[in-house]
Amino acid sequence: MDLLKRNMAPIPAAAWTEIDREATRVLKTRLSARKFVDVDGPHGPAYTSVNLGRLAMPGNQNMAPEGVGYGIYQVQPLVECRIPFELNIWELDNLMRGADPVNLDPVATAAEKAASFEDRVVFNGLQEAGIVGIQQNPNHDPIPMGSDDNALLNAISRGILVLQDAVVEGPYALIAGSSPWRRLASHLQGYPLYRHVERLIGGPVIYSPVIDHAFLVSLRGGDLVLTLGQDFALGYESHTAESVRLFLMESFTFRVLDPAVIVMLQS
């Protein structure tokens, strides 16, 4: 029996296909960090920590015999998140009868929550798991975005210079929260502002609903690493005569290996 226990669910294969498809659709739309960080894995559910390649040497080594020293390997544990939800069995039966559409809203809601959790951990960190997020790694002073389009373009240009002065090559990506994104969606000289920005930075402009400001990051690779154990997967928990309780899960951790590749643009 595997961790997901899908074979125990009263759900036919065709219905599982539709459930998986709906979750994938929402995750592809909602996940923002995976569009600019390096994704390492997935390595499977048994992969539970990342080797940091370091030893911690305890100061008090009285337990060791004379002449014996010891160190403790340093690792970063993965976080497993699980979002439960319920589907109506009758509605799934309607799917097999050819109903279109069927109500898979609980799947979409679970996928939105899962995507939000992953992105929030990447940007804000998770202290209990030893994860330091992008916003917690200020290697450069924040740059104000100003109040008009030209000021915004100037701030991005300054950010590029900051990265180049730190010998961080491009191309670059701009990750924007809701307020900066609305500005980027406006038009400058009859052309969407974000198109001007993409030409300037040589990379994409990415919307993320979990941040308030914007970040200019290098896409050179090897600096921002999202490590996956179990990638997003749907599993079975329990059922009654009326409903089936499923869950969406993943396991991951995140590391900023070089904070010099990040510049915050304050709105």
Which range, 31-40, 61-70, 96-105, is most confident?
31-40
- Both tokens of 94, joined, read 């309607």
Domain enclosing residue 29, as ranges: 1-50+74-267
Distance CA 49, CA 227 (A): 9
Determine which helix (DSSP H) or strand (DSSP E) holds 141, and give its type and residue range: none
Q: Contact 200/163 with Cβ under 8 angstroms?
A: no
The C-alpha atoms of residue 113 and residue 249 are separated, in whole angstroms, by 11
Return phi, psi of residue 190, to 5°.
75, 15
**For the residues 43-47, what does the mean pLDDT come to?**
97
pLDDT tens-place string over residues 205-222:
999 999 999 999 999 999
**Structure token digits, residue 122:** 């990447």
Does 66 reside within a domain? no
In a domain, 60, yes or no: no
The C-alpha atoms of residue 177 and residue 179 are separated, in whole angstroms, by 6
- In terms of DSSP bridges, do strands 233-239 and 79-88 run parallel, antiparallel, or are they unpaired? unpaired
Burial of 39 (0-12, 13-18, 19+ CB in 10 A): middle
CATH number at residue 217: 3.30.2400.30
User: Per-residue pLDDT for 91 more than 70?
Assistant: yes
pLDDT bin (cut points 50, 70, 90) of residue 181 is: very high
User: Which backbone phi and psi does 251 adopt, to 5 degrees?
Assistant: -135, 140
Q: Residue 248's beta-bridge partner residues?
A: 83, 234
> Once rounded to an integer, what is the mean pLDDT over residues 249-258?
98
C-alpha 212 chain-centroid distance? 16
Task: Give the pLDDT of residue 143.
Answer: 97
The average confidence (pLDDT) of the chain is: 94
Asked if residue 1 has pLDDT above 70, the reply is no
Of residues 98 and 1, which shows the higher confidence score? 98
pLDDT value for 57: 86
* Beta-ladder partners of 214: 176, 265
Nearest to 88 by CA among 267, 246, 255: 246
The stretch 41-64 carries a mean pLDDT of 90
| Counted domains in the chain | 1
pLDDT digits (tens, 9 = 90+) for 150-173: 899 999 999 999 999 999 999 999
Q: Is residue 64 part of a domain?
A: no
The verdict on residue 128 lying in a domain is yes
Q: What are the beta bridge partners of residue 30?
A: none
Percent above pLDDT 70 for the chain? 99
